[in-house]
Structure 1
Amino acid sequence: MPARVLACFWQVRFRMTRLLFLALVGLTVSACAHAPPALSRPSGDSGFTAEPMPEPPGMDVAAPRPFELQPGDVLSLGTISPAPLNVPRLVVDEAGLLHAPLVGAVPVAGLRMEEAQERIQERLRRYDRFGLVSLSVTEPAGHRVSVLGAVERPGAYVLGGGTTHVAELLALVGGLKVMTGDAEVAELADLEAARLLRGGTPLPISVVRALAGDARHNIPVAPGDLLFIPALQGASVRVLGEVKSARALPWRAGLRLSDALTRAGGMTVDADSADIRVVRGPLSKPKLYQASFADVVAGRAPDVELARGDIVFVTRHWFATMADVLQRLTPLLAVGAAAVTVMELNAAPISQ
């Protein structure tokens, strides 16, 4: 075994053991002090910190932009003249030039149709003093926008006639990526982190508010724009214990305890609905909270909002001890500790 691989193995083993030990000690101490009730929102939990997402201010509602020619547009050129000219397909090249018979290369990118027509008319007069130029768009292929990330049909799309807004563009690509199964549908897109880039620079809009119809955010898209919808990668909530289908669920803002339990198939007949544990925080120092789903159903307690990375553990009747919780959570914490350690070691060279 090469020395570098062996060194990596022992570092992973040592650091994983340390993280796991700290996690189990933290949970044990929490249990001895009696698990406090879970707060209704993660924002009220001193043990939970999330990087604040700046709220984009939006943009002033601007007047609709006129159609301007772009590289890639396909045009049809004709003249009304005793010696008429008819060219059904001319493409604006990457340099923004239109190569037409007689007139040669004419720069048209960024011009409105009437401006481009007048420019070609001027060039043509040296050959045909009385000819009138007629210019029309056959395919607006240069008016493309790109949508990438967690959407159903990512790719480049040609903007048709009229104005296309952010919300309409999302509808054009089939909407957000979702996961379906077991009679449940979960969105896999992180809309709060979505960005619309123009010229490589993010615009100060919120896609969430654009979908809500806010005119300052649901702005018209322009040729060359890129809409990026990141996935909820790594953002999950795990539901374990006495549920019918233990699983990791994609996290989304506003995910409640009742939603997570429902999507895990509900609780088994042995479950103690009055004693559900929520493990929150980093593996090195996790916190343990207690929630009562029975109180939620009876209206005596709020439905707990879950945070990214939470672990929901449903205990059993009669022996909802910390030993039971630790026994079920130890393998999961071990895997998580190993993953964290490997990622950290991959990011840093091994010391010699």
Structure 2
Amino acid sequence: MFSICRPAPRVSDIRPVRIRKLMKSPFLRVLVTAVVFAATLTISSFAMPAEDDTNVKSSYVLGPNDQITVHALDAEEISDKPYRISAAGDVTFPMIGKIKAAGLTVEELESVLVNALQEFIRQPKVSVVVSEFRSQPVSVIGAVTNPGVLQLQGNKTVVEILSMVGGVRNDAGSSIKITRKREWGLLPLPDAKLDVSGQFSTAEIKLKDVLGARSPEQNILIRPNDVISVSRNEIVYVLGAVKRAGGFPMAERDTLSVLQALSLAEGLDRTASPKNAKILRMTPGATKRSELPVNLEQIFSGKAEDVPLLQDDILFVPDSKEKRAILRTLEALASLGTTAGAGIIISGAR
């Protein structure tokens, strides 16, 4: 018997065939893809740190008291260390020395550091992250859920800032007042004006117009050190012999009339003395409220004009002693089963 001897196959002949066969395996394809993806993340992690924000890099302007962290390849002396920007706006780095950081965006500071490191490193790669924002405060006060001081991170509008404090409360009024330092220019709003000192500009916008997108031009960009004040709802009070005493919001109205306030209070009580009602009003500089008599009977009959109420006014409707006495008498009679003439008795009381 003769056997035919075949030459052993060369490695170069076998490898492509085996690789092609192996690559047909779904499991291997997934494994290779995962390895490549992981390698890509590892390579790119230096250039784009996870905590970095592209919008912040391009728009946030660094200032005093901001804290930054620098990631620099082949520059261990300055890399992965926190640096606080001084009150003068400077940062001192090992190797490089002092650099003016205030007034630069994060991207601009990265370019400055790259240029400074070229003296020591070929093709330096630098990434800067703002680890603490402290130089661009915005104060939000008034009828908001979480009033306080925020730090601007990039460009933010009025609506975005209100969202960051949890929105407005149920007792929010109709207007938002914005105060801005003059160094940022006059507020870009129609009624903007300088205050008495000339150092600040102020303006008001309508809350519903901004939140409801009725006037998008009023949803302006907020600048560092702006103060946003959301007004509280103006309220008038109706007390005394009414069916539902309490405070009632004026909403967007400048005034609320006596008849409107009584309507909100669900009308007069049976024992009310309408001709002896009065408005209690606090005037500027006074220590107690002044009394303005109001004859509701004449207003009801059209013999007198309706009276406007102002913010914090109190409409007080007193009891009629005669009516209360008659009512007690009627209640006593009713307990005895006698109600004849009750209507005549109570209608004669004033």
Which band: TM-score by shorter chain? 0.5 to 0.7
Q: Which residue of 2 aligns with 1:228?
A: 229
Residues 193-208 of structure 1 mapped to structure 2, 5 A cutoff: 194-198=177-181, 201-208=200-207
CA distance, structure 2, for counterparts of residue 286 and residue 294 of structure 1:
18
Q: Which residue of 2 aligns with 1:73?
A: 66
Please say if 1:240 is aligned against 2:239.
Answer: yes
Matches within 5 A, 1:69-148: 69-81=62-74, 85-148=78-141
Residues 248-295 of structure 1: CA distance to partner in whole angstroms, max 9, x if unpaired? 5565542645774577576434458x9795637766683636479989
Secondary structure class of the residue paired with 2:309? coil
Q: Supply the AA of the counterpart residue of 1:163.
A: N
C-alpha spacing 1:193/1:169, structure 2 compared with 1 (3 Å): closer
Matches within 5 A, 1:156-171: 156-160=149-153, 163-171=155-163
Contact 2:181 2:201 in 1 (8 A): yes
Change (3 A) 1:241 1:83: closer
2:102 aligned partner, one-letter code: A
Distance verdict in 2 for CA 1:108–1:169, change over 3 Å: same
Match of 2:313 in 1: 310
Identity percentage of aligned residues = 26
Do residues 151 (structure 1) and 157 (structure 2) align? no
Change (3 A) 1:289 1:124: farther
The amino acid of 1:286's aligned partner reads: L
State the one-letter code of the partner of 2:221.
P
- AA aligned to 2:201 is P
CA pair 311-96 structure 1, distance change in 2 beyond 3 A: same
In structure 2, what is the Cα distance between the partners aligned to 1:261 and 1:284? 20
SS in 1 for 2:210: helix
Structure 2 residue 294 is the aligned partner of structure 1 residue 288: yes
CA separation of 1:130/1:104 partners in 2, compared to 1, >3 Å: closer, same or farther?
A: same
Unaligned runs of 5+ in 2: 1-57, 183-198, 284-288, 324-350
Letter in 2 for 1:225: D
Q: How does 1:49-60 map to 2 (within 5 A)?
A: none
Q: CA deviation at 1:146?
A: 1.4
Is the CA contact (8 Å cut-off) linking 1:146 and 1:225 kept in structure 2?
yes
Supply the distance in 2 between the matched residues of 1:284 and 1:307 (Cα, whole angstroms): 13
1:152/1:177 contact within 8 Å kept: yes
Question: Aligned residue pairs: how many?
Answer: 239
The alpha-carbon distance between structure 1 residues 123 and 258, as it changes in their structure 2 partners (threshold 3 A), is farther
The 2-side partners of 1:270 and 1:314 are apart by 10
1:107 deviates by 0.9
Distance 1:125 1:261 in 2: 79
User: Which piece of structure 1 moves more, 279-288 or 83-92?
Assistant: 279-288
Quickly say closer, same or farther: Cα 1:304–1:173, change in 2 above 3 A.
farther
Bigger mean CA deviation after superposition, 262-271 or 206-215: 262-271
Cα displacement (A) at 1:156: 0.9
Q: Are the equivalent residues in 2 in contact too, given 1:146–1:157 (CA < 8 A)?
A: yes
How far 1:219 moved relative to its partner? 0.6
- The SS at the match of 1:86 is coil
Query: Residue deviations 1:186-224, cap 9 Å, x none?
Result: x2x555472332355134442534344323321111232
Per-residue deviation, residues 62-98 of structure 1 (Å, max 9, x unmatched): xxx9332222333221223386852242232322222
Contact persistence 2:280–2:290 (CA under 8 A): no
Q: Kindly tell me: are residues 89 and 291 of structure 1, through their superposed partners in 2, closer, same or farther at Cα, counting changes over 3 Å?
A: farther
Three-state SS of the structure 2 residue aligned to 1:216 is helix
Q: Give the Cα separation in 1 of the matches to 2:73 and 2:176.
A: 54
Question: What TM-score, normalized by structure 2, do the two folds share?
Answer: 0.52
Residues of 2 paired with 1:303 and 1:211: CA distance?
Answer: 34
Q: Counterparts of 1:312-331 in structure 2 under 5 Å?
A: 312-314=315-317
CA distance in 2, matches of 1:104, 1:95: 15
Higher relative contact order (CA 8 A, sep 6+): 1
Segment drifting more, 89-98 vs 303-312: 303-312
Distance 1:291 1:202 in 2: 49
Inter-partner Cα distance in structure 2 for 1:113 and 1:89: 14
Output the amino acid matched with 1:112.
T
CA distance 1:278–1:82, shift in 2 (3 Å):
closer
